[in-house]
Amino acid sequence: MTDLRSIPLKTIEGTETSLAAYAGKVLLIVNTASKCGLTAQYEALETLYETYRDRGFVVLGFPANDFAGQEPGSDGEIQSFCSTVYAIDFPMFSKITVVGEDKHPLYAALIAAQPKARDSEAFRAMLNGRGRNPNPEPEVLWNFEKFLIDRDGAVIDRFAPDIVPSDDRLVGAVERALGSPA
């Protein structure tokens, strides 16, 4: 299995990095989009980050234009949108592909480690009801799917796009991963 921390990444500012920069932290990796019905989750993601960052928690945003063209902007446009509309302070990364043959190696590793999102059936049914053909598992279903990574770099949970960052299932998983407050 690929060590997530060794996969090359690029920040939204263009700096080369990897998840090794977040060693020892609990991470929530989210594929984001600025023109999606779920875009308002940015606000709750920022709140979650602010609530737990002093305990070693980091939200990492990965813009992707894989779903209905809902992230058409350049990295600069995405960065501007996130800072001016949602005052995002958590780290954002360069736009990537999260599904299909061209998916980024990070997402290939995340999906391999956690092939099913928690409680994805309702969201899958909603997409079907709107005439969208959802990706088959294990592919990412839509924007704002979330992967939880423990302090050792292991994928420990995956949440469907409609599980908002304030949902007790997600918050509880983050708290368990963080352990007792320092």
pLDDT tens track for 141-168: 999 999 999 999 999 999 999 999 999 9
Amino acid 1: pLDDT: 62
Query: What is the C-alpha separation between 21 and 78, in angstroms, rounded?
Result: 22
Query: What is the C-alpha separation between 129 and 177, in angstroms, rounded?
Result: 35
Binned at pLDDT 50, 70 and 90, residue 181 comes out as low
Bridge partners of 4, per DSSP, are none
Q: Does 110 have pLDDT greater than 60?
A: yes
Amino acid 84: pLDDT: 95
* Structural domain boundaries in the chain: 4-178
CATH 1.10.510.10 fits 4-178, yes or no: no
**What are 63-93's pLDDT values in tens digits?**
999 998 999 999 999 999 999 999 999 999 9
Q: Which residue in 179, 177, 167 sits closest to 47, CA to CA?
A: 167
CB atoms within 10 A of CB 74: 12
This prediction has a pTM of: 0.95
Give catalytic residue positions: 36
**∠ at Cα 114 (108, 116), nearest 5°?**
105
